[in-house]
A and B are shown apart, each in its own frame.
Chain A
Amino acid sequence: MDAIIENFFNVPIMVKMFPFLLSGFWWTIKLCLLVVPLGIVSGLAVAMLYATHIRVLKWLVIIYVDFFRSFPPLVLLVFVYYGLPLVGLELPALISVVVAFMLNTSSYYGEIFRAGIESIPRGQWEAARSTGLTWLQTMVHVVVPQAARNVAPDLTSNTLEVMKFTALASVVSFPELLRQAQLAQGLTYNPTPLIMAAGMYLVLLWPIVRLLSRMERRMLAVR
């Protein structure tokens, strides 16, 4: 028992490393605040391009989504982070991490939105278009609000996935929470900081889980 406390719940180490991990926690939050909205917006854009039924666009979207869903995100991250500077494109670390994540997450969000958009009956389109709404107006005011509601559970779980997924940035030494925890573990020769990081992820994700499931229930109740 003492060994467990000594190695995983070591209070002096927790106290000492807290500010260091906190800096990583903020970076993780910043990453989430960038990656999630960008992923949702670009995923929606991808799904809308698909829904235009313009053959060329549709094929481009299919290639894009298939590629980034099957390409290992870790490799993608390394490639964008270390590869782009080699071809003369020097991006700040934050930007290249966000870009790599966005390419990956937009394809997942895109698939979810595509399923949602396809779940809306033709009659909704016809009613809206018959009153003179354009394709885009119909999409924005009639189809997407219903589609998002229909796939809300998938959007929620994907969002939580994406937030945990930001830990992948540690492989390119981006100072987010997991990276800082690993450094702290190395400095103290003790895995306690990893447990601390897990606690911080919990603090970040759990309220969101609650909030989203409440929102989901409310949205379902409206129908």
Chain B
Amino acid sequence: MPGTRGAVTPGPPILDVRGLRKSFGPLEVLKGIDLLVDPQELVFVIGPSGSGKSTLLRCCNRLEEPSSGHVWVDGVDILARATDINAVRRTIGMVFQSFNLYPHMTALGNVTLALRKVAGFARPEAETRGHVALERVDLAEKAAAYPNELSGGQQQRVAIARALALEPKIMLFDEPTSALDPELVGSVLAVMRNMRASGMTMVVVSHEMRFAREAADRVIFMDHGEIVEEGPPERIFGAPEEGRTRAFLASVFDR
């Protein structure tokens, strides 16, 4: 039932996706997605690999160019010709599976680059904000460290700080813990939990079902480029209505 909205905060949605389609050559990866995300909502997207979850996220900041449909972020039509996509992207934080930190810059350098070049802060102000962002991910003491001196969990938290520092309206997480050793996953999830508590709007593509169950406002199950089913986590995990959802959850929890 597309269009269902979580009841966290009334008001206009932060993310509004309508009829979104994306094809790579003859392969249609997204077959008409409708999705509304309210302010402060944490939406979890689950589904088998190849179901189009990542592509959906990447269409929301135009890292991937949608084939058709509409995407509004905080009221801005990001596909409109007149839209300055770089200005919009500043308001959409993205966290990647492989962290993608800049290896030639320190943690602070990673966090401050866009603050200086996109937000236009002078270096001292950018560094102040950078330190605040690193503090929020509990890495204040690693400001001078290079990425190769950090653990995977720490790298991912720096990547989160890099996005957070720009004070985005929404954060997109693309399998943020999939590349991490199991013992490092917790620190990243803890940061995400804090962000949720402080009111950040988040869309998370992930296989961390326990985290979804405990932290998500809404869970969306995607398969073959469509939203098959969505609802509160208790219902999706406890009493899924669709056969495909049940089959997927069974395969995940049987591991």
Contact = CB atoms under 8 A, between A and B. Distances in A.
A139 to B, nearest CB: 12
B194 interface: no
Nearest to B165: A131
B148 interface: yes
A123 B114 contact: no
Contact of B96 (A123, A134, A222): A123
A58 interface: no
B128 interface: no
Interface string A106-150: 000000000000000101101111111110010001100110010
Interface stretch (B65-73, B87-95, B134-142, B197-205): B87-95
A131 B113 contact: yes
B104 A130 contact: no
Interface residues of A, number: 20
A223 B148 contact: yes
Contacts of B94: 126-127, 130
Contacts of B63: 126, 129-130
B107 to A, nearest CB: 14
B118 A222 contact: no
Given A132-B87, A132-B90, A141 B100 contact: no
Contacts of A130: 61, 63, 89, 92-94, 163
Contacts of B114: 128, 131-133
DSSP class of A's interface residues: helix, strand, loop or mixed?
helix
Contacts of A149: 104
A223 B103 contact: yes
Interface in A41-56: none
A117 to B, nearest CB: 14
Contacts of B96: 123, 126-127
Nearest to A149: B104
B102 A131 contact: no
Contact of B89 (A123, A132, A146, A223): A132
B104 A133 contact: no
Contact of A141 (B89, B98, B117): B117
Contact of A222 (B92, B98, B146, B159): B146
B49 interface: no
Given A123-B100, A149-B104, 5 more contacts: A126-B100, A127-B100, A132-B86, A132-B90, A133-B113
25 contacts: A126-B63, A126-B96, A127-B94, A127-B102, A127-B159, A130-B61, A130-B63, A130-B89, A130-B93, A130-B163, A131-B90, A131-B114, A131-B163, A131-B166, A132-B118, A132-B166, A133-B117, A137-B117, A141-B117, A142-B102, A142-B113, A145-B104, A149-B104, A222-B104, A222-B146
Q: Which are the 10 A-B pairs with shortest beta-carbon distances?
A: A127-B100, A131-B114, A132-B90, A123-B100, A132-B118, A130-B94, A132-B89, A132-B86, A145-B104, A137-B117
